[in-house]
Amino acid sequence: MKTKKKLLNVIYNQDARNILESIGSKTKVTTTITSPPYYDMKDYDSDNQVGYGQTYEDYLKDLKSIFAGVFEITEENGTLWIIIDTFKRNNQVITLPFDLSDKLKEVGWLLQDVIIWKKDKTVPWSTNGFMQRKFEYILFFSKSINYKSNKDSVRVYDTSQLKKWWIKYPERYNPKGKALDEVWEFPIPTQGSWGDEYIRHFCPLPQDMVATMIQISTDENDNILDPFAGSGTVLSQSAYMNRNYIGFELNEKYISMFEEYLEKTFSKYRKEYDQFSQNKDQGDFEKRILNLRSLKFARVLGNNIEKNIDFDNFKIFVVPKEASKIKNKLLRVEYQIIGQIDETIFLNEAKKLINKAPLSKFGIEPIFKFVISKKFNNKDHFGYTKTNTYSYVKNADLNSPKIKVISKICVDLNENDYL
């Protein structure tokens, strides 16, 4: 019986120049994440290596042809991440990231982003020149203009990074968090975290940085390629995150070290990934922003109604419902208008207000209900004033005219805590 060749979750001890021959054009990858040798900076101790022993022109020519092959086996919506740096020769900077990106454009890759990877330690040759080197480049390419990008899943939802403004202006913040910017800070792995022998052989990429790239450009079960696998950070991280990997590496020694390492670490990091996937914090932040928006919507609406039609003898009770089905709206919220007021006049004015900024920008689909009176208690209900819907009034008399917005939502945020 003929045994079927394994195509996924393999590392080929082969020259990356033979990608197409090795994996055939039928297997497709969603993304490639790789850090090729930086020209002749390092001898990786194998024949036919790219970079070491070559002229700069031959080196670029080989990389161009390798990434042309990668282009061919990449899905239409696929992407390519290259971590690379400049270096000095004859007292001048050689702009390798840009020379390479020109070559890649010639074979069809579209350069989408140039990211600065800020790291706190640098490689030995970085002492050239008079400034300390602190960053490398990440080039992000796509095969077509419609490329896969799960941007929301890597938004920064650590509220301490958002400064205080999200408290007062929740409508300006995406409930899924702040978008990533173009400077990424990831320290390079240090001795101890990987075991000394491992570190001596490689300059491994930071695991979290690779995880971010994987998260942005793939889904579970997608295929990920690294044609210059080295210590195999990209491959092992793919395995932890439930993706398939394909790697190429000329040096056999590195391959056996990678296989051993993956076996030792797989269950620990898979568990971490499973926990991360539940994304608890992001859910919390999203809920907070939507709560703040629901309350502020009532306050802004109430203040404007008062100003425009001179009604002031009412309170608004806020009851968030379910996710909205309307485009650009996130949440349906019931607003119970409590007091003796003319419903038609109120609704006419409210309609005008909710269809223009600022209320049209809140992502809220309001439903109005009119109630003559309602009983509130300080245990289940929280009262807010005309000027503040981000911290409730402590021990408030909820019947007092000062309290304009009431809800079961309890927010008690102090902007000074988030400076």
Token pair listed for 19: 């990608």
Among 231, 237, 291, 336, binds ligand SAM (CB under 6 A): 231
- Assess contact for 194 and 206: CB atoms under 8 A: no
Q: Does 22 bind ligand SAM (CB under 6 A)?
A: no
Number of residues located near ligand SAM, criterion CB under 6 A: 23
Contact segment (CB under 6 A) with ligand SAM among 9-17, 135-143, 190-198, 294-302 equals 9-17
CA distances in angstroms from 194 to 186, 226, 228, 258, 275, listed in the order given: 16, 20, 19, 11, 22
Burial class of residue 78, CB neighbours in 10 A (0-12, 13-18, 19+)? buried
C-beta of 121: minimal distance to ligand SAM in Å?
A: 14
**Closer Cβ to ligand SAM, 250 or 292, answer by number:** 250
- Assess contact for 286 and 175: CB atoms under 8 A: yes
**Closer Cβ to ligand SAM, 205 or 411, answer by number:** 205
CA atoms of 188 and 126, how far apart (whole Å) = 14
- Assess contact for 224 and 33: CB atoms under 8 A: yes
Q: Does 205 bind ligand SAM (CB under 6 A)?
A: yes
Q: Does 258 bind ligand SAM (CB under 6 A)?
A: no
Phi-psi region of 19 (alpha: psi -120 to 50; beta: other; left: phi over 0): alpha
Q: Does 59 bind ligand SAM (CB under 6 A)?
A: no
Could you tell me whether strands 74-84 and 29-34 are parallel, antiparallel, or unpaired per DSSP bridges? parallel
C-beta of 22: minimal distance to ligand SAM in Å?
A: 11
Q: Does 122 bind ligand SAM (CB under 6 A)?
A: no
CA atoms of 238 and 305, how far apart (whole Å) = 55
Contact segment (CB under 6 A) with ligand SAM among 178-186, 226-234, 266-274, 317-325 equals 226-234
Contact segment (CB under 6 A) with ligand SAM among 14-22, 130-138, 289-297, 339-347 equals 14-22
Q: Which residue is nearest to ligand SAM (CB)?
A: 230
C-beta of 42: minimal distance to ligand SAM in Å?
A: 7
Give the per-residue contact string, 31-50, with ligand SAM (x = CB under 6 A; - = no): ----xxx------x-x-xxx
Q: Does 211 bind ligand SAM (CB under 6 A)?
A: no
Q: Does 228 bind ligand SAM (CB under 6 A)?
A: yes
Q: Which amino acid is at 190?
A: T
CA atoms of 226 and 355, how far apart (whole Å) = 50
E strand or H helix that includes residue 51 = none
C-beta of 95: minimal distance to ligand SAM in Å?
A: 18
Residue 23 C-beta-side C-alpha neighbours within 13 Å: 30
Opening angle at CA 357, ends 303 and 301, nearest 5: 20
Q: Does 193 bind ligand SAM (CB under 6 A)?
A: no
**Site residues (vs ligand SAM, CB under 6 A):** 15-17, 35-37, 44, 46, 48-50, 202, 204-205, 228, 230-231, 233, 248-251, 254
